[in-house]
Structure 1
């Protein structure tokens, strides 16, 4: 991840053709449509990619017909103090683990799992990544958290009922951030200041984001 000043850490994965994508999604393509070396006055790159490529935000419209698009999200859910939960030893994020963490209404949570043990964005797509169980999603929805961020391409496991997990969160107003590079944070980080901004894509069901975090002293939130 890129180096930043004043303690900020880049939690966004590099966007390149080698980035793994969800199996049903189109592959990422970028092409130089104008090239200075070929006599053009400027370099121009054309991008073709899913709105759910790399580090991105899901809008409610992603799974709920007629719901809010990404340009209508309340950005306050993506800006401010966040808590990092370390769930490294679980085969999936389970309800009990989240209940023990006692999530609070309006809280921002980043879930660091064993997905963060290596640079997953440099490897082929893997089906055995760690995601939330449906019961875990219900815990967050009932708690009324503002957002949840996860360290792979989906908040739900590949073999889970992904639609049900997403709808449970999105219908409750929980903003979902997927594809975070949480390994970039110091291992001891438990509380951070989060800055995560989607593009203002009118009518879109998601958007790539640039996500940054700055570790805070414990109890500073």
Structure 2
């Protein structure tokens, strides 16, 4: 569930041992190698995971040869006003539904779908999550959206459109945030702060993403 602080809403999923991950990717493993509770002088953990675990940012290098890596991200791309758009379609995000939201050039768009409820199932990957279709990805690219966020582990589908959707968005200069938990957030306008770990040459990296409601904006 999304976590509320004083003014900020944490829309990141908590990284934890054995959490749900993309099939074939390295699982998340968090092991205590030193522990105060066991008499050690300090507590220390070893983390093992894929670069696209939990809430994370996809760099263009994830699908485009020679493209920008995650450490080359201009932080301003994922810092600033963003709009949460609620999607009713249980299967996919299609251009027909996007038209009525009147997306504007340069917007940061976070899609809230039925996927956010899936985070309650922490260990089992759901292959039938709501995804962005290739046609919708092209629609977003044509409108020069600056960043897109989704509430499961891929912008493209598991059964179809996976790689092509990534290439369409990243090729248009749209940075991608995946693995958001928007279950506690209503549609509207917010301030977004999302920064991935600065991994040299990284194709992607885990990130902490938070929102703050913009006063007087819906």
TM over 0.5: yes
Alignment of 1:157 onto 2:157 = yes
User: 1:105 Cα deviation (Å)?
Assistant: 1.5
Could you tell me whether the CA contact under 8 Å between 1:70 and 1:198 is conserved in 2?
yes
Q: Contact conserved, 2:12 with 2:210, CA < 8 A, in 1?
A: yes
In structure 2, the CA distance between the partners of 1:170 and 1:120, relative to structure 1 (3 Å rule), is: farther
* Partner in structure 1 of residue 81 of structure 2: 81
CA distance in 1: counterparts of 2:161 and 2:114, whole angstroms: 21
**Structure 1 gap ranges (5+):** none
1:156-187 CA-to-partner distances (Å, cap 9, x unmatched) read 111112111000000111010001001121x3
Return the TM-score normalized by structure 1: 0.92
Q: RMSD of the TM alignment (CA)?
A: 1.6
Match of 1:210 in 2: 208
**Residue ranges of structure 2 left out of the alignment (5+ in a row):** none
Cα deviation, residue 219, structure 1: 4.1
1-structure distance, mates of 2:54, 2:183: 15
- Is the Cα contact below 8 Å between 2:18 and 2:29 reproduced in 1? no
TM-score, normalization by structure 2:
0.93
Equivalence for 1:91: 91
Equivalent pairs, count: 217
> Structure 2 matches for 1:174-193, cutoff 5 A?
174-185=174-185, 187=186, 189-193=187-191
Residue 196 of structure 1 and its aligned partner are, at CA, apart by 0.5
- Report the equivalent of 1:105: 105
- Once the two structures are superposed, the pairs formed by residues 1-221 of structure 1 within 5 Å of their partners are 1-6=2-7, 8-120=8-120, 122-185=122-185, 187=186, 189-217=187-215, 219=217
* 2:18–2:27 Cα contact (<8 Å) kept: no
**1:79, distance to aligned residue in structure 2 (A):** 0.7
